[in-house]
């Protein structure tokens, strides 16, 4: 059943908004909660003077088996080659593959390594969502055969603007570009050209870097490991172990510009990329708010890169001058996971990065004008200590308290670590308006159990209005974590569809204005997390009560509207007034008119 046509017990309305003489369709699904919402107290809405020891139970329930999501990433460690290849792991991705309104799930498969040093890929999985109640692996029916690649990463992007999301699978070997045919099948495309090389690729991200309305591809490359370059490394007890990335030279990243026809050209040499990185994480977003998409790359043991875009696709690297290349001691870290969030709600996008053990995870607070400040100590991140090796990570308001939370999947990369365990607890970090604090999990729950975590992605797979998770592990099943936090506030999920802009609207910024206080700002980004893809719809939380002349009235009792502005990648600015109950909103970019008054741009 098409979720867009039936809310399955949710109130539904179709709202038509007229903007600049154009009609915009907005679908509203107001979710009815079985539980009464908790009224937000003053302590919840204001930062406390001191950090308390009050812990909210982490309300995620692991449901992969009962939902039918059965997939395990294999790294090929059985022959004990101790290759660096075995350490990276794989990602997961939420996307509406069949455009039925329900998020489907794709998971990387990894590969096996024979005793004779032969590397063979294992198939990725593609789980079709059955109305939020179950999943079915349809990779065979879809023709999604990825076995020729030892896979790592998943990046989703509608690169041909036909309305059906396509994807790239990265890994050790030639990356695979998959075109969504729109009939339930995926077709292996040759769009990256016959000359694309097999240099080791990790994370990837889609964004319109040169402003032509088509998605371009940023592909992070790792290091020059191979069995011909496979040194013998030992741990402190003389046992063979995986060599560190410092034992290898980094590989230069790649950028491919779209030709507009589903094909691409390699522009890596001409746009100004550095060649000394060891890329693991990619984030494509407008970090300096100048209207074009910039690129941040999390590198392993080398400076992180921040490429500022001139709007035409020429990239100037300025990570060191901007304050995001190193930690607060001026040292490059082993960086893996990455996300964008405005955690202090000042309208400026901040950068969050996960790092290796004995290195603190990094919050780079955006100070404006392309400048950032490392503030992990100020905001309590260093209180976590240096035990964790962080990978996949997502910044979202999972518990709907109005503040950004952070989830991190952790796990070591070597077999016999000394400083911290190989299997590690995942982290749920709650922001109280002043500092982040680690939340404790119920005994035996997912967050109370150690894992070798790698990829992580967020998305509302069951359509109930809150944000769920998928997490991949090394040689252990993928976890699907259903969000069961009791709602503190109402939420709004915004989907954008570009017409003159790229259809995925990567690079768009949405500001939601309330009666008082600064607007809430979100961006649609390319890449993010680690080897993974989160749902691109933007999640906002709204106050559950409104103060009106000394009388606090429930939010649901008020016929209140909110002002929402969209800054599209094309340069179009749009202002809408929308109802403020729990809902889902789809906004289509208005078509621009030329001098003759004719509409131009792709139809949605």
- CATH T-level fold of 60-483: Methylamine Dehydrogenase; Chain H (2.130.10)
Report helix, strand or coil for 531.
coil
3-class secondary-structure state, position 322: helix
Contact predicate 57/441, CB 8 Å: yes
CB 503 within 8 A of CB 131: no
Q: What is the DSSP letter of 556?
A: G
- Tell me the C-alpha distance between 229 and 499, whole Å: 48
Q: How many CA atoms lie within 13 A of 360 on its CB side?
A: 21
Q: What SS3 state is found at 202?
A: strand
Q: 352: closest CA among 330, 335, 332?
A: 335
132: left (phi over 0), alpha (psi -120 to 50) or beta: left
> How buried is 163 (Cβ within 10 angstroms: 0-12 exposed, 13-18 middle, 19+ buried)?
middle
What the block records as the tokens of 107 is 């998971």
Three-state secondary structure call for residue 585: strand
Q: Which of 134, 130, 204 lies closest to 166, judged by CA?
A: 204
Per-residue pLDDT tens for 353-389? 999 999 999 999 999 999 999 999 999 999 999 999 9
Looking at residue 63, its pLDDT comes to 98
- Distance between CA atoms of residues 427 and 537, nearest Å: 24
Point out the residues of the chain with pLDDT beneath 50. Answer: 1-55, 545-559, 593-604
Structural contact between residues 603 and 532, judged by C-beta atoms closer than 8 angstroms: no
Residues 531 and 204 sit within 8 Å (Cβ to Cβ): no
Determine the pLDDT at residue 49.
28
Other beta carbons less than 10 A from residue 256's beta carbon: 26
- Burial of 65 per CB tally in 10 Å (0-12, 13-18, 19+): exposed
pLDDT at 514: 78
Contact status, residue 277 vs residue 252, Cβ threshold 8 Å: yes
Integer angstrom CA distances of residue 310 from 145, 205, 286: 38, 18, 11
Question: What pLDDT does 34 receive?
Answer: 32
- Using CA atoms, how far residue 345 sits from 21, 173, 286, 324, 524, in Å, is 33, 41, 16, 20, 17
DSSP β-ladder status, 216-221 and 254-258: antiparallel
CA neighbor of 33 nearest in space, from 402, 399, 403, 465: 465
What's the pLDDT at 235? 85
Q: Which sequence spans correspond to the domains of the chain?
A: 11-52+489-600, 60-483
Task: Provide the residue count of the chain.
Answer: 604
Residues 6 or more apart in contact with residue 143 via CB below 8 angstroms: 185, 186, 187
CA-CA distance, 481 to 467, in Å (whole number)? Answer: 9
What SS3 class is residue 522? Answer: strand
Cβ atoms of 436 and 429 within 8 Å: the answer is: yes
């Amino acid at each position: 059943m098409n979720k867009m046509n039936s809310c399955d017990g949710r109130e539904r309305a179709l709202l038509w908004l007229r903007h600049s003489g154009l009609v915009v369709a907005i679908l509203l699904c107001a979710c009815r909660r079985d539980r009464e919402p908790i009224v937000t107290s003053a302590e919840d809405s204001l930062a406390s003077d001191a950090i308390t020891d009050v812990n909210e139970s982490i309300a995620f329930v692991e449901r992969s088996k009962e939902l039918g999501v059965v997939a395990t990433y294999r790294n090929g460690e059985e022959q004990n080659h101790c290759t660096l290849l075995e350490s990276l792991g794989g990602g997961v991705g939420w996307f509406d593959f069949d455009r039925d309104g329900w998020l489907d799930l794709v998971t990387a498969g990894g590969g096996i390594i024979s005793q004779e040093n032969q590397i063979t890929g294992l198939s990725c999985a593609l789980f079709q969502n059955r109305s939020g109640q179950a999943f079915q692996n349809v990779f065979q029916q879809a023709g999604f055969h990825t076995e020729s690649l030892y896979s790592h990463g998943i990046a989703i992007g509608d690169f041909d603007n036909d309305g059906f999301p396509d994807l790239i699978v990265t890994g050790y070997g030639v990356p695979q570009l998959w075109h969504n045919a729109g009939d339930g099948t995926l077709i292996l495309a040759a769009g990256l050209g016959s000359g694309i090389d097999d240099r080791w690729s990790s994370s990837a991200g889609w964004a319109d870097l040169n402003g032509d309305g088509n998605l371009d591809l940023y592909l992070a490359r790792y290091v020059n490991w191979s069995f011909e370059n496979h040194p013998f490394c030992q741990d402190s007890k003389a046992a063979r172990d995986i060599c560190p990335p410092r034992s290898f030279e980094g590989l230069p990243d790649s950028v491919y510009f779209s030709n507009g026809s589903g094909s691409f050209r390699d522009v890596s040499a001409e746009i100004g990329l550095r060649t000394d990185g060891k890329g693991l994480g990619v984030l494509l977003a407008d970090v300096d708010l100048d209207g074009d998409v910039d690129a941040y790359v999390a590198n392993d043991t080398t400076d992180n890169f921040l490429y500022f875009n001139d709007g035409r696709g020429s990239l100037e690297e300025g990570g060191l001058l901007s304050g995001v290349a190193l930690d607060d001691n001026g040292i490059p870290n082993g960086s893996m996971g990455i996300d964008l969030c405005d955690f202090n709600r000042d309208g400026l996008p901040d950068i969050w990065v996960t790092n290796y053990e004995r290195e603190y995870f990094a919050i780079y607070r955006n100070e404006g004008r392309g400048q950032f400040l490392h503030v992990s100590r100020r905001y309590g991140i260093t209180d976590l200590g240096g035990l964790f090796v962080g990978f996949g990570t997502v910044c979202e308001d999972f518990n709907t308290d109005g503040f950004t939370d952070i989830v991190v999947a952790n796990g070591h990369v070597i077999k016999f670590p000394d400083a911290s365990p190989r299997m590690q607890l995942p982290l749920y970090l709650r922001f109280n308006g002043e500092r982040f604090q680690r939340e404790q999990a119920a005994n035996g729950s997912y967050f109370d159990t150690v894992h070798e975590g790698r990829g992580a992605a967020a998305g509302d797979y069951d359509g109930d209005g809150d944000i769920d998770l998928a997490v991949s592990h090394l040689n252990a099943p993928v976890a699907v974590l259903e969000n069961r936090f009791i709602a503190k506030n109402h939420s709004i999920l915004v989907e954008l569809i570009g017409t003159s802009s790229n259809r995925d609207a990567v690079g768009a910024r949405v500001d939601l204005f309330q009666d008082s206080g600064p607007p809430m700002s979100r961006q649609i980004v390319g890449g993010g997390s680690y080897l993974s893809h989160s749902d691109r719809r933007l999640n906002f939380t709204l106050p559950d009560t409104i103060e009106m002349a000394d009388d606090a009235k429930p939010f649901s009792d008020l016929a209140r509207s909110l002002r929402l502005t969209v800054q599209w990648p094309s340069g179009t600015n749009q202002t809408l007034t929308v109802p403020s109950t729990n809902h889902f909103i789809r906004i289509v970019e208005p078509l621009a008119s030329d001098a003759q008054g004719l509409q131009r741009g792709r139809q949605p």
